[in-house]
Structure 1
Amino acid sequence: MQSIYERIEYLIKQKGITKKSFCEELGISTGNMGDWKRGKSTPGTHKLIEIGAYFQVSLDWLILGKAAPEMVRESSEDYFFEQIRQLNCHIELLPDEKIFIKEYLAFTEYRRRKAAEENS
């Protein structure tokens, strides 16, 4: 699976739903989906976050086809580094890395909000 579209198509098949119902549930036009298939465009950041949350997959996998690092877990407080070293971590992030982290935080917030709505 080389493209975002191919990964989305794979997820749709795995979930056992139609492309039409997927589009309806996420508010995606079939025209946009066709553009993604032809490589004419790709989903925007907010739509990628929604799609990732819908299928419960990482943005790394959805966008790049890469598996998320094993040490990054939402169910644990040990994000990126061991707890002991978090306070002593001094790393300068590149602008692209800062943007990615902000998008990931927005994605996490979105998932929590959706889960809270479902539990209400």
Structure 2
Amino acid sequence: MQSIFDRIEYLIEQKGITKKSFCEQLNISSGHFGDWKRKKSTPGTHHLIRIAEFFHVSLDWLILGKSTVDGVREEGEAYFSAQMRQLSCQSEELLPKEQEFIKEYIAFTRYRRQKQDEENS
């Protein structure tokens, strides 16, 4: 699979849903989806995160087509290398302020998911 869109289409097919259903569930306009298909644009960061979360795939795979990096788990603090305590998907070291921002974002995402689950129950 060559492009982000190819991987998204593959995931949609594997999940057995329609493209329309996918767009509705993730609140993606058909116009945006069509632009991705025609390579006029690519999904923004917020869409990529939601798509990866929806299909339970890593951002590395979704964006680059790469499987996970050795030593990185896919849950919790998984995106941090146990040895270096920096994001494993980055080639250069992150500043402590950047690392803290990412940790806060992960915590916020968990909180949002928990609240959404509570509302759906």
Unaligned runs of 5+ in 1: 87-91
Partner residue, 1:80:
81
Unaligned runs of 5+ in 2: 86-91
Amino acid at match of 1:57: V
Amino acid at match of 2:105: A
CA positional deviation for 1:116? 5.4
Amino acid at match of 1:52: A
Q: Runs ≥4 in structure 1, deviation > 4 angstroms?
A: 101-105
Partner residue, 1:35:
35
Structure 2-normalised TM-score?
0.72
Partner secondary structure for residue 68 of structure 2: coil
Does residue 117 of structure 1 match 2:109?
no
If asked which structure has higher relative contact order (CA below 8 Å, sep 6+), I would say 1
Number of aligned residues:
110
- Cα gap change, 1:17/1:51 in structure 2, threshold over 3 Å: closer, same or farther? same
Structure 1-normalised TM-score?
0.73
Mapped contact 1:23–1:29 kept (Cα < 8 A): yes
- Cα gap change, 1:94/1:75 in structure 2, threshold over 3 Å: closer, same or farther? closer
CA positional deviation for 1:70? 3.7
Aligned residues: percent identity? 54
> Cα RMSD over matched residues?
3.2
CA positional deviation for 1:41? 0.1
Paired residues for 1:94-105 under 5 Å: none
Amino acid at match of 2:37: K
Does residue 6 of structure 1 match 2:11?
no
- Cα gap change, 1:117/1:110 in structure 2, threshold over 3 Å: closer, same or farther? same
Q: Within 1, Cα distance between the matches of 2:9 and 2:69? A: 23
